[in-house]
Amino acid sequence: MHCSRAPQRPSDSCPKRDKISSPARKRFAFDRKSVEATISRNNSEKRLAQIEAAHEARERQIKDHEQARTALTERNNALTKTLKVRETALARSEEKIAALTERNGHLEADVQVSRTNIEKRVEDLSSALQRERMERAVVEGALEAARKDNSRLQGEVGALRSTLRRGVPLEELPIPPTEAANDETPLKGKRGNTAELSQIEAAGKA
């Protein structure tokens, strides 16, 4: 017979029902807490897995950034070294250009001086050549006159020889036009003696 069927007062309770329901409530509460704990643990594990995954991703990202930073640092060092080498080469090239420019200036000055000296030398040589040509013309004129005189004297010597061979007296020899025009000495005094004729013949043979 159930106690719910018995008349009860509002303040009365069923001790047996209280005894049955109390452990069930406790078990239900425990199960509920266990489920909640399981759910919370699963959520925590999921959250932990997410955090660990994010941490690993962050670690990989940091590692990649460090590798990129190392590569960039090495590249920067290489570029800095190359830049220093090029700056050194550029400085040397500028020094060489300055030296060559200075040397070129000296060479141009030397060339100008040499050109001036050469022009003066050419002018001096031209003047000397002109003087030599004039002197040569004078000498050639004198030589030509001497040759003509020599030819005339040889002709006279030849005529005297032929006359002497024929035995013509000296007084009868014709007087050359030049001697007649330039000298008024008598023929006898002009011609001299036989010794003088011998000297003339010797000169003609020479």
pLDDT digits (tens, 9 = 90+) for 181-204: 444 444 444 444 455 555 555 554
> What average pLDDT does this structure show over 108-125?
90
CA distance 156 to 204: 9
pLDDT at 12 over 70: no
Give 27-36 pLDDT, tens digit per residue: 778 888 888 8
Q: Which of 57-66, 84-93, 119-128, 171-180 has the lowest mean pLDDT?
A: 171-180
Share of residues in the chain with pLDDT > 70 (%): 70
Token reading at 21: 């329901």
Task: Give, to the nearest 10 degrees, the angle between helix 15-166 and helix 194-205.
Answer: 150
Token reading at 102: 């200075």
CA distance 199 to 29: 182
pLDDT at 8 over 70: no
DSSP 173: S
pLDDT at 18 over 90: no
Share of residues in the chain with pLDDT > 90 (%): 32
The helix/strand/coil state of 9 is coil
- Kindly list the distances between the CA atom of residue 121 and the CA atoms of 129, 130, 131, 132, in Å, as whole numbers in the listed order: 12, 14, 15, 16
> What average pLDDT does this structure show over 173-182?
50
Give 40-92 pLDDT, tens digit per residue: 889 889 989 999 999 999 999 999 999 999 999 999 999 999 999 999 999 99
More confidently predicted of 4 and 40: 40
Q: What pLDDT, on a 0 to 100 scale, did the predictor assign at position 160?
A: 83
CA distance 153 to 161: 12
